[in-house]
Amino acid sequence: MHSVGTQAGYTYRNRYALEGSLRFDSGRVPHALPVSQSVVNPALQATWHAGNETFLATRGWLSQLDVWAGVGATSNLGRQYEQSYLRYSTPTANGYSDLRIINSSHTLQHDAGLRAAWRRWLTLEASVYQRRTTETPIKGLMSRNFPATEVTNQGLEASLSATWPGHKLTGRTTLAAAFQKNRFRVPENLLYRANEQQWLINGQPMSAFYGYRYLGPDAATGAPTYLSTANNSLAYEVLGSGLPRQLFNLTQEVAYGRWQLQLQADAMGGYQVYNQALHKLDSPDGFVFNGSRRMLMRWTPNNRSTDVPAANTSMLRTFSSYQLQPGDHARLTALILRYKAWSKAEREITVWAGGHNLLVLSRYRGFDPNVSSGGSAGTQAGLDLGAYPVPRTVVLGVQATL
């Protein structure tokens, strides 16, 4: 791979700044395939240091105000293409036939934001962005022509930080939040399958769960019922996505004399999780599996007001919303307490104790709602196929400067 780039910037009177870059990449597709590619990635950002304007700088209460907007492009040239491949599925007599597609990925991003600080104790940062990533199959590697696909993503990220000035008690609090919405686009009516439960569907989010909508057991027989179409056939539909739409974070630092406390809490929301173990444990289908306590609530002639169907209901082997659970949760990610036991000049000894993943508040019935058996793949988020959960850890330590 060969890469050539340049960047330049100019600031006028410490108030108006313009920065730009240009990068040219060329190289071969990995695995020594006889295909070469080249791409040009430009970027440009304009910044207004509004806090340095005379009408704001003289007020005193506003120490910084920057507003910026930019546009830039990136690509995956030179990276492992397995990270961005799609799997095209076509119906056959024996189910589905899969073909792996090697793609060239190109992303164009537009963003804008601001950063404001009041008297150096309160800081606000916020930004909005829109990304459009185009996946183009590499010519010469495919036996047939595949259309280019596209993923669009819009989001908002914001953080608010406050510093507590004081004589003995000092601290800093930071709140952060992120919201995102993504959609997959394809010009043809094709289905790209990531796994048995998740598909890439035109106009739907990434990591979309695709199956039947469970309506509950039939009141008369206890058999599971699903949403049907006008001709009484079962209707496939998108049941949610495994990618969170909201992220929240709280960090807190407090110091008092020789003591120091650090805390981090996180929350995620707006996504679904498929737990393979509960798919079997919660299904009263008569197979030789252990069952969860939920089976005690199954439909019987004397227990008709339940969401669990009757025993020996084999239809539950079909993937549906019955097997999905909300992944929304809040977590005490880290808590650390430090004590400066000895200090003299530049030498000191500090002892500390802490824990990670101490508490998780969630309706999820598995070990942890923030695991991914699909790794970092954006097409297979929200899968819990027996993934090892996030461990709870207690730590003790000593830090010495001698």
For the chain, what are the domain ranges? 2-401
Q: Helix or strand or coil: residue 179?
A: strand
| pLDDT by 10s per residue, the chain, length 402 | 788 999 999 999 999 999 999 999 887 655 545 567 788 999 999 999 999 988 887 667 788 999 999 999 998 775 544 445 565 555 555 555 555 556 678 899 999 999 999 887 999 999 999 999 988 776 555 555 677 889 999 999 999 999 988 778 999 999 999 999 999 998 776 677 888 899 888 899 999 999 999 999 999 999 999 998 766 677 889 999 999 999 999 999 999 999 999 999 999 999 999 998 888 888 887 776 788 888 899 999 999 999 999 988 777 778 899 999 999 999 999 999 999 999 888 899 999 999 999 999 999 999 999 998 988 888 899 999 988 999 999 999 999 998
For the entire predicted model, the pTM comes to: 0.87
281, two tokens: 């444990």
Q: What is the DSSP secondary structure assignment for residue 138, as one 8-state letter?
A: P
Which strands make up the sheet holding 324-326, listed edge to edge?
A: 324-326, 272-275, 383-384
205, 182 contact by CB (below 8 A): yes
Q: What is the DSSP secondary structure assignment for residue 56, as one 8-state letter?
A: H
234, 266 contact by CB (below 8 A): no
Q: Helix or strand or coil: residue 156?
A: strand
DSSP secondary structure string, 90-136? EEETTEEEEEEE-EEEEEEEEEEEEEEEETTTEEEEEEEEEEEEEEE
